[in-house]
Structure 1
Amino acid sequence: MRTVELVCSAGLDGAVRSAWDRLAAAGLPSLARNTHPTNRPHLTLAVVDEFPPGAEHRLIELFDAALPAPVTLDRIVVLDGSAPLVWLVRPAPALTALHAAVWGVLADADGHRPWHAPGAWVPHLSLALRFRDADLRLARAVAGGQRPTGEFVQARSYDGTDRTVTPLTAGSGSPRRA
């Protein structure tokens, strides 16, 4: 499995991590408890089984032209009633176009995850997994009512097979083992 993700600017990353910490301190589920080295706030644009030939190079070119991209977070919701607690991302036209372009680059890939497809995609930054709707009011109070702003400044890909993160920006170097 390979992902295509956008990584937050330092200020936005800090705002999300602060919400993770407040949720954990309140005894609620939180990604603050995930200590895996690759765990960081990110926006997933696509997930496929493997990148088709040449896709990584085309993605790097795409992101070098499109980033940084401004972002504003919106409300906190539970997706599908008993699933991730997320901070919705306001889908600016530039972000929606970038998402569609990524899917164009990956058109020939196998194993597309349909919930990331244009038209079905709900752009968000995850706060917790396996969250209950019943705890949503408390989570909103704990995480805060602000609407943080920032930028997506980098792109990366996580390879679930060999557990590496590969930057998808020019001159970013080789994969890092997680």
Structure 2
Amino acid sequence: MKVTVLTIELLLDDRLESAVRDLWESLHAAGLRSLATHRHPTNRPHITLVTTGSLDDLPGLDLPLPVTLGPVHLLGRALVRPAESPELRLLHALVWRSAGSINPLYEPSAWVPHVSLALNLPVPQRSDALALLAGLPPLSGHCVAARSYDTEARTVHEL
């Protein structure tokens, strides 16, 4: 029996989304792994709040909310830009309490909010990717919409 896993994700304003997509393309142009090559129609820059089995208890999401993308770094095998704001942390805690999560990485004490640039970055590419994107200034904008991704059906719907 397959278990449906749903994400709750925040989408970025046009300027932030464009900046992240530009980083995807820069990595790809340098011959490095990047989400630019992930061609599924649901692929777009986002911040995942939680993974859950149901959206039944999801609270209202008060958007837009401010967010700042920080310097590029590795998060495990992923290349990411961290995403921060007090409002983001408050919304995450509310969603966690209401909808819960089936993954302990999304517990408030463990959650590392971020936007992914590359997943499963090979070890030999890591230093090149970090060097390529070193020194980027923080970039502020807003999370403007929310969606849920169904990992079994590979579809999204707006929240």
Please, what TM-score do these two structures have when normalized by structure 1?
Answer: 0.80
In the alignment of these two chains, the number of paired residues is 154
- How is 1:75-154 mapped onto 2 (pairs within 5 angstroms)? 75-80=71-76, 83-90=77-84, 92-107=85-100, 112-132=102-122, 135-143=125-133, 145-154=136-145
2-structure distance, mates of 1:138, 1:147:
20
Aligned twin of 1:12: 16
Q: CA deviation at 1:16?
A: 0.2
DSSP-derived class of the 2:153 partner: coil
CA distance in 1, matches of 2:98, 2:37: 34
Q: Which runs of 5+ in 1 are unaligned?
A: 169-178
Could you say which residue in structure 2 is the equivalent of 1:26? 30
- Residue by residue, what CA displacement relative to the aligned partner does 1:65-92 show, whole Å, maximum 9, x if unpaired? x210111111111112xx11111112x2
**Structure 2: stretches of 5+ with no match in the other structure:** none
Q: In structure 1, which of residues 152, 158, 162 is the aligned counterpart of residue 153 of structure 2? A: 162
Match status 1:51 vs 2:67 = no
- 8 Å CA contact 1:78–1:131 kept in 2: the answer is no
TM-score, with normalisation over the residues of structure 2? 0.89
Partner of 2:68: 72
RMSD (Å), alpha carbons: 1.6
Is the CA contact (8 Å cut-off) linking 1:6 and 1:45 kept in structure 2? yes
Which amino acid is the alignment partner of residue 74 of structure 1?
G
Following superposition, the deviation at residue 132 of structure 1 comes to 4.3
State the alpha-carbon separation in 1 of the partners of residues 124 and 140 from structure 2: 28
Contact 1:20–1:143 (CA<8 Å) still a contact in 2? no
Maintained 8 Å contact 1:78/1:85: yes
**Larger mean Cα displacement after TM superposition, 71-80 or 143-152:** 143-152
Counterpart in the other structure of 1:174: none
Superimposed CA distance per residue, residues 8-54 of structure 1 (whole angstroms, 9 cap, x where no aligned partner): 00000000000000000001110000010000000000002x216x3
